Amino acid sequence: MTMIFGVPTAALFGQLLLGLINGSFYAMLSLGLAVIFGLLNIINFTHGAQYMMGAFASWMLLNYLGIGYWPALILAPLIVGATGIILERLLISRLYNLDHLYGLLLTFGVGLIIQGLFRNQYGVSGLPYGIPSQLTGGQNLGFMFMPNYRGWVVVASLIVCLATWFIIEKTRLGAYLRAATENPTLVQAFGINVPLMITLTYGAGVALAAFAGVLAAPIYSVNPNMGADLIIVVFAVVVIGGMGSILGSIITGFALGLVEGLTKVFYPEASSTVIFVIMVLVLLVKPAGLFGRTA
Amino acid sequence: MAEAALATRPGAARATAPLLKVEGLEAWYGESHVLHGMSFDVRQGEVITLLGRNGAGKTTTMKSIIGIMGKRTGSIVFDGTETIKMPSRLIAKLGVAFVPEERGIFSSLSVIENLMLPPQIKPGGLSLDQIYDLFPNLKERSGSQGTKLSGGEQQMLSIARILRTGAKFLLLDEPTEGLAPVIIQQIGATIQRLKNDGFTIILVEQNFRFAQTVADRHYVVEQGRIIDMIPNEEMDASVDKLHRYLGV
């Protein structure tokens, strides 16, 4: 068997792929958090629950309405994004003039309520959601076996991340967003409807989380706690990348997924803590995060 | 006498009602009461200045007109519309444009993105080519980060971007502050040109020598009120009075 650094290549690449998949989810989720934090100044602790809702929405679409994976990939983010818009209009919008802490507590509380409701209805054992038939099976890449669905997750998440980056950094709408992030009062004084933009941005950030949830449904079991487990790591990723940086959260998400995968190969005992250790080190050296702007 | 002088100006004669009429305007920053019943008006095509010491309430008056002061009462009628309760984005759509004292150039936007940011509100705004004619520096530096420009260039960018929108009523808050004399001249020439093109402008200035070169009338602001109005023709005769008002 081929070995690299005393490790079988298949195991190494297997873990790297796993890391890349985890990284895809870290990137999509931290990207949504970054977009929301940038414009709303709200640390959206409901994000994990909204990711879970995305997975549940696709499960419900399939089991109650017979709508499959591909339409769900569009529909679930729209549905969950709409609930985000309602949440922003009803509750979050009342907190913009208050300290960050209020937004954090509110979104954390809402997240717990949503999780509780789903737990009550569906239990915690997890519901199965099959891989779409077009993506079953896998490819033998020579050095490793690559399940098709996992490859698709990495590609889809890269596309979504890059599309989000492109919209924000390269389009006119993105220029509005960036300007409103810096100085909402002045942007409003130019005749732009900033409150509407804020609401839609929250909806888009939530839809991004739900999209990740749909992608996750066939890999992880659809479970009310799936978001809560993931979101803690995602927040560490956001802290490392720097709150509010778009490209930073994408790069950091994928990179930390890979670091986690490598740690599983070389020092498995540390694999669940490595991200937090990196977070501590980054905070010591660059408190604003690797890509963060110091305010 | 002032009336007679104004009547000879284009626009002033045919506009019977003022374009902007401010009456009994009061405004607050949180608990602190800054404006105490400002009243003044601006006619179509006029350039007027608000003169006064730091903290007199000049900037607050501008912010109240564009609608970004949190709490304001009284009456601000622009072009026949009462705007005192309107959000700023709707006031902007009536054709009012604001150039803030701190210039408000966005650091996360390039020069061209800054320039293209304010949406067009009415037809008749300057085209990009006309703007580049007026401010050639902006063309050369269109790809730079907005805040990498020099102070003078940032000021020009801040003025240039609202000329695209078609708004014909401009609020310029201390456009010459901290700039070199040659740049001040250029900004003065720009204001003169806008005036000739029929723009109506309120200018906040500390530098009344500069104000005198471009304005028709001068309102003196003290402690949140208008305490005097000096037509530009009488400025030279009023120098002592102005020195007293402005404490220079």
The residue in chain A having the minimum alpha-carbon distance to the alpha carbon of residue B67 is A189
ipTM over 0.85 threshold: yes
CA distance A182 to B153: 20
- The pLDDT confidence band at residue B16, using thresholds 50, 70 and 90, is low
In this prediction, residue A294 carries a pLDDT of 55
CATH class assigned to A7-131+141-285: mainly alpha
In this prediction, residues B99-125 reach a mean pLDDT of 92
In this prediction, residue A1 carries a pLDDT of 59
HSE-CB at A277 with a 13 A cutoff on CA atoms is: 9
- The pLDDT confidence band at residue B6, using thresholds 50, 70 and 90, is very low
B210 φ/ψ sector (left φ>0, alpha ψ -120 to 50, else beta)? alpha
Strands lying side by side in the sheet with B32-42: B32-42, B20-29, B71-78, B81-82
Residue B1 confidence (pLDDT) above 50 = no
B-chain residues within 8 Å CB-CB of A188? 68, 87-89, 92
B-chain residues within 8 Å CB-CB of A172? 116
Sign (positive/negative) of CA torsion A103, A204, A158, A57? Answer: positive
Residue B8 confidence (pLDDT) above 60 = no
Residue B166 confidence (pLDDT) above 90 = yes
The residue in chain A having the minimum alpha-carbon distance to the alpha carbon of residue B90 is A191
In this prediction, residue B248 carries a pLDDT of 63
Confirm if A156 and A134 have CB atoms less than 8 A apart.
no
CA distance A116 to A73: 25
In this prediction, residue A7 carries a pLDDT of 75
Q: Which of B62, B102, B108 to mutate to test the interface with A (most CBs of A within 10 A)?
A: B108
Residue B72 confidence (pLDDT) above 90 = yes
CB within 8 Å: B117 and A179:
yes
Sign (positive/negative) of CA torsion A42, A210, A229, A287? Answer: negative
The residue in chain B having the minimum alpha-carbon distance to the alpha carbon of residue A176 is B117
Residue B5 confidence (pLDDT) above 50 = no
In order along its 295 residues, chain A shows pLDDT tens digits of: 577 777 777 788 888 899 999 999 999 999 999 999 888 888 899 999 999 999 999 999 999 999 999 999 999 999 999 999 999 999 999 998 888 889 999 999 999 999 999 999 999 888 999 899 888 888 888 777 889 999 999 999 999 999 999 999 999 999 999 999 999 999 999 999 999 999 999 999 999 999 999 999 999 889 999 999 899 899 999 889 887 788 888 999 999 999 999 998 888 888 889 999 999 999 999 888 888 765 4
B-chain residues within 8 Å CB-CB of A179? 106, 108-109, 117
Alpha carbon B170 to chain centroid, angstroms: 5
Query: Which residue is listed with tokens 């792929």?
Result: A17
Angle between helices A194-216 and A226-241 (to 10 degrees): 120
Strand ranges (DSSP E) for chain B?
Answer: 20-29, 32-42, 47-51, 71-78, 81-82, 96-99, 169-173, 200-205, 217-222, 225-231
CA distance A67 to B17: 64
Please state the domain extents for chain B. 1-95+168-176+197-248
CB within 8 Å: A189 and B165:
no
- The pLDDT confidence band at residue B14, using thresholds 50, 70 and 90, is very low
CA distance B61 to B202: 10
Residue B183 confidence (pLDDT) above 60 = yes
What percentage of chain B reaches a pLDDT higher than 70?
Answer: 93
Burial of B100 (0-12, 13-18, 19+ CB in 10 A): buried
Q: Which tokens sit at B93?
A: 């759509």
CA distance B195 to B209: 18
Q: What are the phi and psi torsion angles at A231 (to 5°)? A: -65, -30
Which residue in B184, B164, B186, B165 sits closest to B176, CA to CA? Answer: B184
Q: Which of residues 133-172 of B touch A (CB under 8 A)?
A: 162, 165
Q: Architecture of domain B1-95+168-176+197-248 in CATH?
A: 3-Layer(aba) Sandwich (3.40)
B-chain residues within 8 Å CB-CB of A187? 117
Residue B84 confidence (pLDDT) above 60 = yes
CB within 8 Å: B88 and A185:
yes
Question: How near does any CA of chain A get to the CA of B107, in Å?
Answer: 8
In this prediction, residue B239 carries a pLDDT of 86
Confirm if A20 and A152 have CB atoms less than 8 A apart.
no
CA distance B94 to A229: 51
Q: Which tokens sit at B228?
A: 């005097």
3-state secondary structure of B54: coil
Confirm if B191 and B47 have CB atoms less than 8 A apart.
yes
